Chains A and B, each alone.
Chain A
Amino acid sequence: MFPLSSTMELTQATTLGLALVIGLGFGFFLEKAGFGSTRKLAAVFYFYDMAVVKVMFTAIVTAMVGIFILSSAGALDLAELYIEPSNYPAAIIGGIVFGVGFIVGGYCPGTSLAAAATGKIDGWVFIAGIFIGSYAYAEFLSGFDTWLAASATPDVTLSSLTGIPMGWFVLLFIGFLALAGWGMSLAEKKFAGLRP
C-alpha cells in the first residue's frame, strides 16, 4: 500500500502538489518549534536551551516508530524507501564542515528558510551563502563528487550492518530519547547562567 509513489501512478502535478503540502507542514512545525531563531539554535551548543535537539530526536523517533509499525503490519514496503547511500569519509568530512558552518552561520539550510520566512535578514544572508557554497562545490569539486558517488554503498542501515531486527533499534532509540530528555533538562538547569 505504501509508499504511494510505488503503488499508484501519480501525475507530475500531483507529485509536486504533494511536495508543496508536505513542505507546508515541515515549515510550519520548524517555525513552531523555534527553529527560525538563530539564538535558539545556537543555544543547543551552550546547553542552556536544548529545545532544538529535543524536537529533532522526538521527530526521528516518531517517524521511526511509524515506519516500523506500518512495515510490520505489512502496510509499508521498506524496500521501496529511498535510503541515501552511505560513504563514511564523506559523512565525517561533510559533517565536520557542515557543523562548523552551522555554528558560525547560526543556521542550517532548512532553519535559515524558516528564519527568512519570518523576516530575519541574517536568514536571507545565510541562504545566499548556501547558494554560493553549493554553486562553488559544483564548479570546483565535481571530480571529488564523482568519486564520492562511486565509493558510496547503497542501503546500509544499522539493521543490515548488525543483523539485529529494526524493532530492537526502535526500542533503543525510544529509551535513548527518554534518557536524553532527562539529561537535557539537567543540563539546561546547570548551564542556565549562560543564557545571554
Chain B
Amino acid sequence: MSSITATSAPAGTATKRVPAPYWNPYLAGFGLGLVLLAAYLIAGRGLGATGAFSSVAAWLANLVSPENAQASAVHARYLESGSPATAWLVWLLIGSFIGAAVSGYMAGRTSLTIERGPSITDNQRLVLALVGGIIAGVGAKIARGCTSGQALTGAAVLNAGSLVFMGAVFVAGYAVAWLFARKEWL
C-alpha cells in the first residue's frame, strides 16, 4: 500500500518544476559556433567576456580619481576607447546575461541557489568562488582574454597564442583539480 501512495502522490504536492535537460553538446556547440561566426561576419572580431569588466573598472577608477586612473596604462587604455555605455564588449555581455536568463527561465532552471560540490559548505563555496574569480580575472588580463575572447575566438581563426593559452588553461586546471581540488568537487 505504501508503495502505491508513494508513486501516485496526488497532483499538486509535487509543485517543484523539473528542469528541462541540457541540449545535446554537439547541437549546443553548433549553435554557439554559429554565434561566433556571426560575430566575425558582422563585427570582424569574435566574442569576449572579460574586457567588459576592465571597461567598467576603468570607468569607476576615473570616477574616484581621474589622476589615479590615468596613471594606470590599463585604465587609460580603456578610458581612451570611451565610456562603458558605448563599449561593444559591455553590450555583448548585457546581451549574454539576458540570453542566459531567458534560456534558463524557459527550461525551469532559474532558482536562487548556491551550487557546490557535496563535500563542502555553502560558505566555503562562496569563498572559493570569490578567490577563484579574482585569480581568473588576473589571469585573463595577463593573457589578454579568457575562454571566450582567447580560447574560443582565437582558436576559430587558428591564432597561435590563443591555442597556447587554451593548452595552459587545461594543463593547470587538470593539475589543480587532481592535486588539490578533489574535496571541493567530488
Contacts and interface: CB of A to CB of B under 8 A. Distances in A.
Given A19-B95, A22-B38, A112 B45 contact: no
Size bracket of the A interface: 35 or more
Given A54-B25, A115-B115, A84 B161 contact: yes
A128 interface: yes
B86 to A, nearest CB: 6
Contacts of B57: 131, 134-135, 138
Please indicate which of the listed interface residues B71, B89, B91, B102 has the most CB atoms of chain A within 10 Å of its own CB: B91
Contacts of A82: 44-46
Given A36-B109, A98-B143, A145-B74, A22 B156 contact: no
Interface in B63-114: 71-75, 78, 86, 88-89, 91-105, 107, 109-114
Interface string B142-168: 111111111111111111111111111
Nearest to A92: B168
Interface in A87-138: 87-88, 90-123, 125-138
Given A58-B25, A91-B168, A137-B137, A30 B100 contact: yes
A59 B153 CA distance: 10
A120 B98 contact: no
B169 A99 contact: yes
A15 to B, nearest CB: 7
Contact of A157 (B105, B129, B130, B159): B159
B185 A196 contact: yes
Given A85-B161, A109-B146, A125 B172 contact: no
Contacts of A116: 97
Contact of B126 (A2, A61, A118, A125): A125
A18 B97 CA distance: 15
Contact of A59 (B36, B99, B176, B186): B36
A142 B49 contact: no
Contacts of B131: 104-105, 129
Given A91-B168, A104-B131, A134 B50 contact: yes
A29 B137 contact: no
A133 B138 contact: yes
Contacts of A98: 135-136, 139-140, 142-143, 146-147, 165, 168-169, 172
Contacts of A114: 96, 100, 104
A132 B186 contact: no
B172 A99 contact: yes
A81 to B, nearest CB: 5
A66 B185 contact: no
B56 A131 contact: yes
A109 B140 contact: yes
Given A22-B47, A55-B29, A137-B74, A30 B61 contact: no
Interface of B: 22-23, 25-26, 28-47, 49-50, 53-54, 56-58, 60-61, 71-75, 78, 86, 88-89, 91-105, 107, 109-119, 125-126, 128-174, 176-178, 181-182, 184-186
| For the complex of A and B, 7 pairs with smallest distance between CB atoms | A105-B132, A129-B133, A23-B95, A133-B137, A62-B33, A94-B143, A95-B168
24 contacts: A3-B41, A20-B95, A23-B93, A26-B32, A31-B99, A31-B100, A32-B23, A32-B103, A62-B29, A63-B36, A83-B154, A84-B162, A86-B159, A94-B143, A117-B96, A117-B100, A117-B104, A122-B125, A126-B136, A128-B130, A134-B53, A134-B54, A146-B73, A157-B158
